[in-house]
Amino acid sequence: MSKNKALVKRHGAAKIVLERNQHPVSRKSFSRQALTVLEGLRKAGYQAYLVGGCIRDMLTGKSPKDFDVSTNATPEQVRRVFQNSRIIGRRFKIVHVVFGREIIEVTTFRSGSEISRPGIRVSDNAGMLVRDNVYGKSLEEDAERRDFTINAIYYNIKNYQLIDFHGGLYDLQHGIIDIIGDPEKRYLEDPVRIIRALRFAAKLGFKISRRTAAPIKALAENLRQVSNARMYEEVNKLFLSGHGLQSYRILRNYRIFEILFPGIDEYYDNSVFNSFVEFALKSSDERYAENKRNMPHFLYAIILWFAFQKEVFELQQINESLVDSMSLRDILEVAFAKVMARQNPMTAIPLSISESIRSMWTLQFMLTDKNQEHTAAIAGRTLFRGGFDIFRIRARFEPYLRQFVDFWQPFYDESSAQARDRAQKQELFEQTRTLGKRDKKVVIKEVFGDDDAREKNDRLAKARAWRAAMHLDP
């Protein structure tokens, strides 16, 4: 393998093939759906490979979370093989084969060649690929346009071989993130690769190779040209899937955190800011390890809290000198709008998420109120628990808040118990989906008591819609 890596370094690529008895990737660890897609393509006479994160995960002993398939069939041909598929065109056309909640992403071999043909491969002035639909003819070409060597290892469904052109197996063994091709050119084509390099380093605990790291600082500004919708997704991947704390540290190291969150470097000297963010990210990572979901609204509410608070204080100061003074509500409104206006050009925060951030921030100002007349209303507010979670983290750093934590804790516990109960009922209800009508009625009656089942159905439908809007389901 070291020899192969040396060849890669000299020639840019060198093929290495592992037979089925030389590697641990086994069909047994593929999802049924992934296998269906691979076999379907093979039977239709096409080549089909697994590639990317799933192979990387299986080789490092993790269970893969999604399966990416690469084929020589064009998107239209793939579409014809699977009725349950649709072509989607983002940066390039890919096919989603849909099995209920699980989606298998199928991409056609793409060419790594950088020849610019009008209407086919379009770069803007800065060299960033805007449209990119050149299909390559071979696996080798496909490998060349992938981002990192560890993401370009292929599993061939026909003969169970692993194929590696860029020393990915070596890098995986040695814990190295190495970009394929000329680093500067690859980052200019797609600046998101900068973020991806840091993300994989954080996630896998790998080192970024020197040549891969070298141009990052100089080119990081190009991240501002990436669509804010795509950046929103990338930021979620950085922080919500179990390696948030490590992502934060690496991003700060490369001075990219302040690009993702404009204006945030103002708080870098504030040790409380750093401890607060680190503590919250660490708890999120722990939640993830316990199979609990992490929410984008919580993430943004934490990271931007200091900025929001500052806007509020400034407005309060101005307010004191005004004759027509603003209410606290108005102040929070204006501060919220300002913070969002600064953040949105970088990451497009969906409305449902920003509304949740607003609710949790508003709660920060309500939770210092112990007036008995207000407690029920406050504890009943949407996201009371989320808001309290943030409040409790703040209290670690602002001792004055602890009395209020003690005051609200019982309300929080009560609300959690209710939520658990609801979740349990919902889960039971979900299980009735496969039952016949009559059995369903019996179960619903048992779970929900004698209440009208239809009303329960409506409530659950609403709950499901809400969950979908909040991206609570994978």
Instruction: Report, as residue numbers or ranges, the catalytic residues.
Output: 66, 68, 147
Residue 2 CB partners (closer than 8 Å, separation 6+): 170
131 touches, from ligand ATP, Mg ion, none (C-beta below 5 to 8 Å by class): none
Nearest of 60, 82, 56, 79 to residue 68 by alpha carbon:
56
Residue (52 or 215) nearer to ligand ATP, CB: 52
Q: Is 53 in the site for ligand ATP (CB under 6 A)?
A: yes
Angstrom distance (rounded) from CA 298 to CA 289: 17
The residue range among 8-16, 49-57, 106-114, 378-386 that interacts with Mg ion, by the rule CB under 5 A, is 49-57
Secondary structure (DSSP) of 48-89:
EEEETHHHHHHHTTPPPS--EEEESS-HHHHHHH-TTEEEEE
Angstrom distance (rounded) from CA 49 to CA 71: 6
Q: Note whether 78 and 85 are within 8 A (CB).
A: yes
Residue (128 or 348) nearer to ligand ATP, CB: 128
Positions in 209-248 near ligand ATP (CB under 6 A): 237
Q: Is 93 in the site for ligand ATP (CB under 6 A)?
A: no
Q: Which two tokens stand for residue 431?
A: 């299980």
Angstrom distance (rounded) from CA 256 to CA 259: 5
Q: Is 144 in the site for ligand ATP (CB under 6 A)?
A: no
Q: Is 64 in the site for Mg ion (CB under 5 A)?
A: no
Residue 122: DSSP 8-state:
E
The residue range among 21-29, 145-153, 157-165, 329-337 that interacts with ligand ATP, by the rule CB under 6 A, is 145-153
The residue range among 8-16, 48-56, 220-228, 373-381 that interacts with ligand ATP, by the rule CB under 6 A, is 48-56
Supply the minimum distance, in Å, between the C-beta of residue 61 and ligand ATP: 14
Q: What 3-state class would DSSP assign to 290?
A: coil
147 touches, from ligand ATP, Mg ion, none (C-beta below 5 to 8 Å by class): ligand ATP
The residue range among 49-57, 221-229, 367-375, 435-443 that interacts with ligand ATP, by the rule CB under 6 A, is 49-57
Q: Is 66 in the site for Mg ion (CB under 5 A)?
A: yes
Angstrom distance (rounded) from CA 456 to CA 454: 5
Q: Is 192 in the site for ligand ATP (CB under 6 A)?
A: yes
Q: Is 102 in the site for ligand ATP (CB under 6 A)?
A: no
Residue (147 or 164) nearer to ligand ATP, CB: 147
Nearest of 79, 57, 7, 64 to residue 34 by alpha carbon:
64
Report CA-CA distances (Å) from 323 to 320, 326, 327, 330, 335.
8, 9, 12, 15, 20
Tell which one of 79, 93, 121, 193 touches ligand ATP (CB under 6 A): 193
Beta pairing, strands 68-71 & 102-108: parallel
Residue (237 or 338) nearer to Mg ion, CB: 237
Q: Which two tokens stand for residue 365?
A: 């100002």
The residue range among 190-198, 227-235, 336-344, 450-458 that interacts with ligand ATP, by the rule CB under 6 A, is 190-198
Supply the minimum distance, in Å, between the C-beta of residue 163 and ligand ATP: 13
Q: Is 139 in the site for ligand ATP (CB under 6 A)?
A: no
The residue range among 79-87, 165-173, 188-196, 417-425 that interacts with ligand ATP, by the rule CB under 6 A, is 188-196
Residue (103 or 428) nearer to ligand ATP, CB: 103
Residue (66 or 102) nearer to Mg ion, CB: 66
Residue 12: DSSP 8-state:
S
Q: Note whether 323 and 330 are within 8 A (CB).
A: no
Nearest of 129, 136, 182, 173 to residue 153 by alpha carbon:
173
Beta pairing, strands 68-71 & 85-89: unpaired
Supply the minimum distance, in Å, between the C-beta of residue 302 and ligand ATP: 22
Residue 155 CB partners (closer than 8 Å, separation 6+): 25, 49, 50, 51, 55, 161, 162, 163
Q: Is 68 in the site for ligand ATP (CB under 6 A)?
A: yes
- The contact pattern for Mg ion, residues 67-106, with x = CB under 5 A and - = no contact, is -x--------------------------------------
φ, ψ for residue 91, nearest 5 deg? -75, -30
Q: Is 190 in the site for ligand ATP (CB under 6 A)?
A: yes
**Residue in the structure block whose two tokens are 């948030």:** 244
Nearest of 175, 172, 155 to residue 28 by alpha carbon:
155
- The contact pattern for ligand ATP, residues 146-165, with x = CB under 6 A and - = no contact, is xx---xx-------------
Q: Is 53 in the site for Mg ion (CB under 5 A)?
A: yes
Supply the minimum distance, in Å, between the C-beta of residue 237 and ligand ATP: 6
Supply the minimum distance, in Å, between the C-beta of residue 304 and ligand ATP: 24
Size of the site for Mg ion (CB under 5 A): 4
**Contact footprint for ligand ATP (CB under 6 A):** 51-53, 66, 68, 146-147, 151-152, 190, 192-193, 237
